[in-house]
Amino acid sequence: MRVQSALSYTHGEQARTFVLSSQPLTCDDLLDAGARPSPKETRLRLTVAPQRSTSGTTWALTRLVHLPRSMQPKGTLDTDGGLTLSLEVHHEEPADAFLEIPAITYALSGTMTAEDCGAQPVDPGAAARPQDDLVVSIAGQPVPMQGATRTQDRLLLTSQPHGCGATVSDADVVVEVRLKDSPPVADMVVVRGQTLPVQYTAGFGPTWGNQLDVQASGSGRLGLEGSFDMLGSPVTLSGTADALVCP
């Protein structure tokens, strides 16, 4: 693949996506929701983000997308979150017989400087909902939550603003508290996001040994108090979430 254009954008947070194309592209081409790559175009999307851990912050390649594949290859890179990225990646992806996708090898090597296409929110138009009464801490680092929605069986907290039904997988941090019963109790918590090295699920109750107290104090307000270990990184939820109630 001969790279004819290199573009980059963020979602208004730390994670940054680079788009490499075999065709000349502009930011308008890239950000047009209805646009699709031409049959003659080869396009790769690389997302890099700082990873939260108790050992400090290091940058990592968190996603490589070459439709119809999306994967998390390993490699080395040098970046400060800006528009210049140096990387060395060699990744072999096996064939998927069920989806009829052939095996493919990705070899990426060198340095690029991309054109900045600005910030593209995870959920355009969603109003920020700062969680001023809730402290979320991961690996000893506080994470300001800017979005919160609640359904009967789920509380979704994100570092990005989001509304009902939004896809939030590109946010830096996502905390999903799954609820059961009435009044609600915590069934499990899923912690994921671009700045976390893994997706982590914690269950609650005697089997797991974790505890998260939930106290409903209004249709969208939930008190949360508890902590658990995420593969060596402590996660703490303390305070009251003020969520947008969704159907």
Inter-residue contact 208 to 246 (CB < 8 Å): no
72 pLDDT higher than 90: no
Q: What is the pTM of this model?
A: 0.83
Instruction: Tell me the pLDDT tens digit for each residue of 84-123.
Output: 999 999 999 888 888 788 898 999 999 999 999 999 888 8
Element (H, E) at 126: none
| Full 3-state SS string of 129-156 | CCCCCEEEEECCEECCCCEEEEECCEEE
Q: What is the pLDDT of residue 4?
A: 93
For the range 58-65, what are the long-range contacts, defined as Cβ-Cβ under 8 Å and sequence gap of 24 or more? 60/197, 61/87, 61/89, 62/15, 62/194, 63/194, 64/89, 64/91, 64/106
Instruction: Please tell me whether residue 53 adopts helix, strand or coil conformation.
Output: coil
> Within 10 Å of residue 29's Cβ, how many Cβ atoms?
16
**Lowest mean pLDDT segment, chosen from 54-58, 61-65, 126-130, 229-233:** 54-58
Q: Nearest to residue 208, comparing CAs of 229, 192, 193?
A: 229
55 pLDDT higher than 90: no
Inter-residue contact 115 to 27 (CB < 8 Å): yes
Q: Which range, 95-99, 160-164, 165-169, has the best average confidence (pLDDT)?
A: 160-164
